């Protein structure tokens, strides 16, 4: 086998691994977004059913609204990652991880109350 052919094959193999890692990451994060959508709906029901005063209910609803905004931000970042080239998606991943941490923390705080 010619050296050029071998190098091309190794490059193709590496690109395939990168694409596979990106696809797995996107799939994992999309599943988490889907889970959060369900949890947000459940929180709406719990807030409505909780016998809290109007002020507390409004505070909880505001918190959930904030989580929805962060979820939308995560969806936008995931869309960027999906459309990014295999050589660029890793750079976008850090921003996504920051949003993820913020959302997870927000869910933990409100779940502790319900």
pLDDT value, residue 112: 81
pLDDT value, residue 71: 95
Domain boundaries, the chain: 3-113
What CA–CA distance (Å, rounded) separates 70 from 105? 11
What CA–CA distance (Å, rounded) separates 93 from 99? 10
Given a contact cutoff of 8 angstroms between Cβ atoms, the answer to whether 64 and 110 are in contact is: yes
Residue 48: in which H helix or E strand, if any? Answer: helix 3-49
pLDDT tens series, the chain, 114 aa = 676 656 556 665 555 555 688 999 999 999 999 999 999 999 888 888 887 788 888 888 899 999 999 999 999 999 999 999 888 888 899 889 998 999 999 988 887 876
pLDDT value, residue 31: 96
What CA–CA distance (Å, rounded) separates 114 from 110? 7
pTM over 0.85: no
Given a contact cutoff of 8 angstroms between Cβ atoms, the answer to whether 91 and 24 are in contact is: no
């Amino acid at each position: 086998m010619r050296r050029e052919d071998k190098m091309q094959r190794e490059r193709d193999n590496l690109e395939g691994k990168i694409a596979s890692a990106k696809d797995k990451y996107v799939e994992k994060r999309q599943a988490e977004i889907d889970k959060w959508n369900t949890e947000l709906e459940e929180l709406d029901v719990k807030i409505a059913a909780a016998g809290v005063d109007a002020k507390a209910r409004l505070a909880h609803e505001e918190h959930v609204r904030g989580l929805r905004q962060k979820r939308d931000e995560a969806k936008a970042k995931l869309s960027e990652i999906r459309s990014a080239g295999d050589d660029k998606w890793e750079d976008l991943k850090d921003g996504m991880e920051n949003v993820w941490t913020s959302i997870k923390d927000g869910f933990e705080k409100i779940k502790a109350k319900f």
